[in-house]
Amino acid sequence: MTYQPNSQQVTFVLPMYFTKAEIVFSKSSTSLENISFKVNPSNKPVYAISTKILEKGQWLAQLIWSQGKSQYCSEQVIDIN
């Protein structure tokens, strides 16, 4: 997962045959403020999600996906300026 501040987006690569996926942005670990996006499978492995709607500050970006019966998670803290 890579945050690109100039283009205001998070890009990531998923396996070609994932079952379902979503990316969740959390403002802080104690906040209930979460913004999530479902990721629909396509024929390209690279996906991009806009961060334009996120207010300035530090966010935890969690990419959660499943493939078969296995579930995976990748996390990264990003700073929106």
**Domain harbouring 74, CATH code:** 2.60.40.10
Range of the domain at 14: 2-80
**According to the model, what pLDDT value does residue 19 have?**
84
**Max Cα–Cα distance, the chain, nearest Å:** 38
pTM exceeds 0.75, yes or no = yes
Give 52's pLDDT tier (boundaries 50, 70, 90).
very high
Q: Which two tokens stand for residue 45?
A: 């492995």
User: Given a cut of 90, is residue 31 above it in pLDDT?
Assistant: no
Pick from 81, 32, 38, 34: nearest CA to 61: 34
Give 41's pLDDT tier (boundaries 50, 70, 90).
confident
Q: How many domains does the chain have?
A: 1
- Report the percentage of the chain scoring pLDDT > 70: 95
User: Given a cut of 70, is residue 53 above it in pLDDT?
Assistant: yes
Contacts of 45 (CB under 8 A, 6+ apart): 13, 14, 15, 16
**According to the model, what pLDDT value does residue 22 have?**
94
Around Cβ 68, how many Cβ atoms within 10 Å? 8
